[in-house]
Chain A
């Protein structure tokens, strides 16, 4: 009898404390908390150094932290390795200190590669790092990256790097979906390119998670990128969001309605639905 009273009392006490902590600091407790990583590069050793990418990733991350999500890795400059984005070799995307397949959301901001025109279908979908390890720095994601496979958990690969989701060759992206749900990026060319920006990632970060106590809305990833992926870009650059699916309808539903916090299962990779908006 006495134990029943004590246990009941303790249980209520703990529940009350949880209520107290959870509601007074909503940013610290979320039932659907996710694990995310950021990789940001400003320093390219004098070869087109960028200025705003580390601040951009800090801003992106801040909104996730305020929502109670958990960072896995937050590397910058030389600590972001090309191998973090490759499926094969050693180290690779499962590297324990920063592989991109270790988190559910990976936000990359740095250089990519762009073609000379948007009509080409030559291989151009590269991420470009300047790592102190894990070379080469150029990673062709079409042939070297597979996410969500072999124990990997990446669901959303968010690329802020100019052109690694070129529209003319977007169907080449099918192999990257090893369980991955969605990829976002830009399409353009050397004369119509994304600009180094802090604002783009900041706004995208907040829109993908929202902020309930600011009444700031959370948007599905695709729609968040359609209106933020065109911030600080030159004309004719397009924001692109592509989702895999088990079926046609599944791929479309993910493209339109999946949030980073949806918690949906991994899709297969025989269907892909994508959408884009270009700054005219």
Chain B
């Protein structure tokens, strides 16, 4: 009898260890650790290409242990401080260095705005972003402040406003038509290395850019924006809309953007609608091809305390 129990127990242990070994091994290769065993030639090439963009194009210092992998339309890598990812279906690159946020230890980038803009332009050129598509380049200066409240009197003592991080923001146009969804935003560490970078500059199909030109001409003539109850039309602009950087889909459309101002002047956040030339609402570019499934309740139960 005892022998049977021992056999059962041993069998369970063996099965368990087998499952653990199989699952953990498979995951480590599919999730992309630095162990490249089991990768196809294509996957190995993809990882190498990702590494090249990170290290050679952007100059990221990939020191220490580096994990790499890919999933859906993203391919990336990470070290102790850095995370880098790029989209495989778009000119989209995102990188973040933890030290960028640790300003009390590392400080902030103090060079003049011109130096940041020059570095930003250089990085965009390295990423093969067409210079002719740049609409605006500007530096955004973060500000910081601290206040202490006296809990008895309620009085607040304010410290002086300080400069924080700087971001170079680049916006996009194609042949004079704004691309509302594209941008490049870059912040640097005190030594000039990349602290944060998001470049989302997908290639736009020719038929979309052609359509956007047509929309621009229509808007310049006498296109009449659909009315909206409780709001007035504030501005009408032809442009291009596409899926965001954080997405597994990539749609792009020529649109006419109408910004409305609420008639109730207390109310903030301006309604925005995107139309085609006939004044029909555009279906918004998709974000996720397969959004996570969730059960949404539509009727809220009566309030109880």
A: which residues have CB within 8 A of B? 1-2, 4-6, 8-10, 12-13, 15-17, 19-20, 23-24, 26-27, 44, 46-52, 55, 58-59, 61-63, 65-66, 71, 74-75, 79, 81, 83, 90-92, 95-98, 110-114, 116, 126, 128, 132-134, 160-163, 171, 174, 188, 190, 193-199, 202-203, 205-207, 210, 213-217, 219-220, 222-223, 226-227, 230-232, 234, 248-249, 251-253, 255-257, 269-280
Could you say which of A15, A174, A249 contacts B156, with CB atoms under 8 Å apart?
A: A174
The stretch among B78-86, B114-122, B212-220 that forms the contact with chain A is: B78-86
Report if A6-B8 is in contact (Cβ < 8 Å); known contacts: A47-B267, A214-B71, A230-B140. yes
Which B residues touch A17, using CB under 8 A? Answer: 19
Ordered by A's residue number, 19 sampled pairs between the chains whose C-beta atoms are within 8 Å are A9-B16, A48-B262, A48-B263, A58-B291, A79-B298, A97-B301, A111-B267, A114-B268, A161-B269, A174-B156, A193-B269, A196-B271, A206-B246, A217-B85, A217-B94, A251-B146, A253-B104, A256-B103, A275-B164
Question: Is B9 in contact with chain A by the CB < 8 A criterion?
Answer: yes
Could you say which of A20, A75, A270, A271 contacts B300, with CB atoms under 8 Å apart?
A: A75
Report if A16-B17 is in contact (Cβ < 8 Å); known contacts: A203-B246, A219-B101. yes
A219 to B94, CA, bound (A): 12
A249 to B10, CA, bound (A): 55
New contact pairs (13) apart from A79-B298, A174-B147, A195-B259, CB-CB < 8 Å: A13-B15, A16-B19, A19-B20, A48-B267, A51-B273, A58-B291, A62-B288, A75-B297, A92-B305, A95-B304, A223-B165, A227-B187, A272-B146
A232 to B244, CA, bound (A): 12
Count CB-based A-B contacts (< 8 Å): 309
Interchain CB contact under 8 A, B149 and A272: yes
A205 to B246, CA, bound (A): 9
Which A residues touch B151, using CB under 8 A? Answer: 270
- Closest chain-A Cβ to B71's Cβ sits at a distance in Å of 5
Interchain CB contact under 8 A, A15 and B142: no
Report if A112-B268 is in contact (Cβ < 8 Å); known contacts: A62-B288, A217-B95. yes
Could you say which of A9, A59, A63 contacts B8, with CB atoms under 8 Å apart?
A: A9
Interchain CB contact under 8 A, B260 and A16: no
Interchain CB contact under 8 A, B143 and A195: no
Question: Which residues of chain B from 234 to 250 have any CB-CB distance to chain A below 8 Å in the complex?
Answer: 244-247
- Closest chain-A Cβ to B84's Cβ sits at a distance in Å of 7
A252 to B17, CA, bound (A): 47
A162 to B272, CA, bound (A): 13
A177 to B192, CA, bound (A): 37
Which B residues touch A15, using CB under 8 A? Answer: 16, 20
A273 to B145, CA, bound (A): 6
Which A residues touch B31, using CB under 8 A? Answer: 23, 26, 213
Which A residues touch B267, using CB under 8 A? Answer: 44, 47-48, 111-114, 128
- Closest chain-A Cβ to B123's Cβ sits at a distance in Å of 16
Which interface residue of B96, B187, B299 has the most chain A CB atoms within 10 A?
Answer: B96
The 6 closest A-B pairs by CB, nearest first: A215-B76, A5-B9, A9-B12, A162-B268, A2-B5, A48-B262
The stretch among B34-42, B124-132, B202-210, B223-231 that forms the contact with chain A is: B223-231
Interchain CB contact under 8 A, B85 and A214: yes
Interchain CB contact under 8 A, B104 and A256: yes
Question: Is B63 in contact with chain A by the CB < 8 A criterion?
Answer: no
Interchain CB contact under 8 A, A23 and B27: yes
Which B residues touch A188, using CB under 8 A? Answer: 268
A219 to B102, CA, bound (A): 11
Name the residue on B nearest A10 (C-beta): B12
Which A residues touch B299, using CB under 8 A? Answer: 79
Which B residues touch A251, using CB under 8 A? Answer: 146
Report if A215-B149 is in contact (Cβ < 8 Å); known contacts: A23-B24, A190-B268, A232-B272. no
Question: Is B109 in contact with chain A by the CB < 8 A criterion?
Answer: no
A248 to B148, CA, bound (A): 8
Question: Is B141 in contact with chain A by the CB < 8 A criterion?
Answer: yes
Question: Is B278 in contact with chain A by the CB < 8 A criterion?
Answer: no
Which interface residue of B101, B229, B302 has the most chain A CB atoms within 10 A?
Answer: B101
